[in-house]
Amino acid sequence: MKIAIAQLNYRIADFEGNLNLMKNAIRDAEKEEVDLIVFSELAVCGYPPLDLLEQRDFIDKCSESIRLLTECTSKVAVIVGAPVINPNEKGKKLYNAAFLLSEKKVLAIRNKTLLPTYDIFDEYRYFEKNIEFNIVKFKGVSIALTICEDIWDDQPVENTFSRTRLYTISPMDFLAKQNPDIMINISASPFAANRLNAREEVLKQNVAKYGIPLFYCNQVGANTELIFDGSSMVLDRNGIIDRLTPFTEEVRSYVLENLMSPANTGAIEFESNLSDEYRTEMMYKALVFGIKDYFRKMGFNRAILGLSGGMDSALTLVLAVEALGCENVMPVMMPSRFSSDHSITDSLELAANLGVTCKRIPVDPMMDSFLSQLVPEFEGKAEDVTEENLQARIRGVILMALANKLNMILLNTSNKSEAAVGYATLYGDMNGGLSVLGDVYKTEVYDIARYINRNREVIPYNILEKAPSAELRPNQKDSDSLPVYEVLDPILYHYIEMKDPIAAIVESGFQREVVERVISLVNRSEYKRFQTPPILRISSKAFGMGRRMPIVARY
C-alpha cells in the first residue's frame, strides 16, 4: 500500500480554497498511484476555528466540504479532519472527527478523545470527547486512527505541582488491543521553539510502546498568532524514517510494506538537531513565516514600522523585508531632540543594506505643539514619564495615520521582555496590527540578529553593540529602570513559561529583591498586555490567548 502525507496550509473558513488544496493533492496522488492520502486535523475548515464552530451555517459548510471531497475518492482514499455533529441528545454539539473516505463513500468516522484545554487550546468548549475505540480497516490494513492530542496522553507536564500525567486514559491503549498494523495521527500542533524535541519524543514513545509504524500529518501555516510548522513525520521501530520540510507545503508518499519489512533499518540521520543555533534558526524562520502568512491571509501586502536605531525595530525590519520584499516595507524614522546621531546613521545604514527607502518625520514640532496646549494643565508640575509617553504616542499617531492612508499594516516592534514588565507605552509604541517580537525575549532578539549576520553584516554592528535605550530622555538606558536583560530574561522565563514561584526562582540563583520586583512588574502590567495586538507565538507560553490572567487581581 502507498500512503501519502499532505502537509498543507489551510485558511480558516476558506472552504473553497481548502477544498481546492486537497483536490490538487489528490490529483497528484492519483498520478503516483497512491492508495491513501492523509490530510490534517480540521483541514476542511482550518484550525483553530474557535467560536465559528457555534454557527450552524459554518458546520453545514464543513459537511458540504466532506461531501464534495468524497466525490474525489474514486481512485485515492482520503483521511481528513472535520467537525461532525454529535447525534446524541446529551453532551456537546460536535465531535472533532477524522473521516476515512473511499470510492465516493464515507467508510469510517473516528472522534477525538483527548480534548486539550490548556495554553492556546480550548477544545472542550466546543467538542464532546470520544468514548468508543475501534480501529479502521482499509485494503486489508488495520489502522489505529487518532487525532493530535490522542497520542499525547503520556506527555510530560511542566510544573503542575506533583502531577506527572495530564490525562487519565490512553486512546492508543484501547486501540492496541485490536492489533492494528499502523498508527495514523492527524494533527494541528503549533510551533514552540523551547519544545522542539517534545513532539518527536512523544511520537517515538508511541512507536516504541506499540511496536508499529506511525504516520504523523501536521498542518503548516500561520493563523493569526498561531504558527504551525508542519514537520510531519513517518516513524518505525528504528525511529524517524522521514520528516517533511518545516514551514513548507509538501506532499510525500511511502510504501507501507517497505516500512514494515524486517530488512528496513530506518534512517537515523533524521534525529533531532537541538543546538542553540538550530533553535535560533527555527525562531527566525517561524517569525518570517508568521508575518508572510498573516499578510497573505488578511489580504495585505505592505507593512510600515517605526525605525528607532535600536535592536528591536532593526530586527523587525529585517524579518518584514524577508517576508514581504523590500518594496513592500516602509520604515519611518521619527527622531526627537533625545535621539542620538548614531541612531539615525545606523537606521540609514540598515535601510541601505536591505534596499528599502526610509522616511524621516521629526517629532519635535508636534511635541512642542502638544506641550504648548497643555501648559495650563501641566503648570507647576515637574516633567516625568508623561512627557516621555507623549513622544511615544505622537510616533504611534504618525505611524497609524500613514498605515491608514497607504493601506498598510503597522508592525509592532516591542519584545517579550518589555511586554512582560510593562516597559512600553499604551497607544504609542504598543500600537500595531501585528506584534512580531512580542514572544521573543530581548536576549533572543540579539541571538536572532547574530544569526542574520552570520554571513555578512546586515544589521549594523553598532546596533548590536550599543546599550538598549528608549531615547525618551537624555542619556537614557533600559538598565536605568530594569535589571540587565541577561538577568531579567531568565527570571521571566522561570515565572512565565515554567510558572515557578518566587522561592524556586531565588533558589535557582537570583536575588530575592530583584525577583520580587520583576514579578511585581509582570503582575501589574496585565492591563497593558490586554490591549496589545496579536503576538506571533513561537514559545510554549506567549502572552495573549495562551496566558489568561485577571487584570484586577491582587497577586
In Å, what is the CA distance from 401 to each residue of 305, 338, 363? Answer: 12, 23, 14
250-255 vs 2-7, strand pairing mode: antiparallel
- Identify whether the C-beta of residue 18 lies closer than 8 Å to the C-beta of residue 44: yes
**Catalytic one of 45, 72, 112, 285:** 112
Instruction: Assess whether 137 carries a catalytic annotation.
Output: no
DSSP states along 392-458 = HHHHHHHHHHHHHHHT-EEEE---HHHHHHT-S-TTTTT--SEESSTTS-HHHHHHHHHHHTTSS-S
43 to 227, 277, 381, 386, 457: CA distances (angstroms): 15, 33, 59, 49, 41
Check if the beta carbon of residue 357 is closer than 8 Å to that of residue 351: yes
- Tell me the C-alpha to C-alpha distance, in Å, between residue 339 and each of 228, 333, 342, 386: 39, 10, 8, 18
- Contacting residues for 169 by C-beta, under 8 A, at least 6 apart: 113, 114, 153
- Set of cell numbers at residue 542: 506567549
Catalytic, 405? Answer: no
Q: Does 23 qualify as catalytic in the annotation? A: no
Among 148, 217, 285, 416, which one carries the catalytic annotation?
Answer: 148
Say how far residue 211 (Cα) sits from the centre of its chain: 32
| Residue 413 · residue 305 · CB < 8 Å | yes
By annotation, the residues acting in catalysis are 41, 112, 148
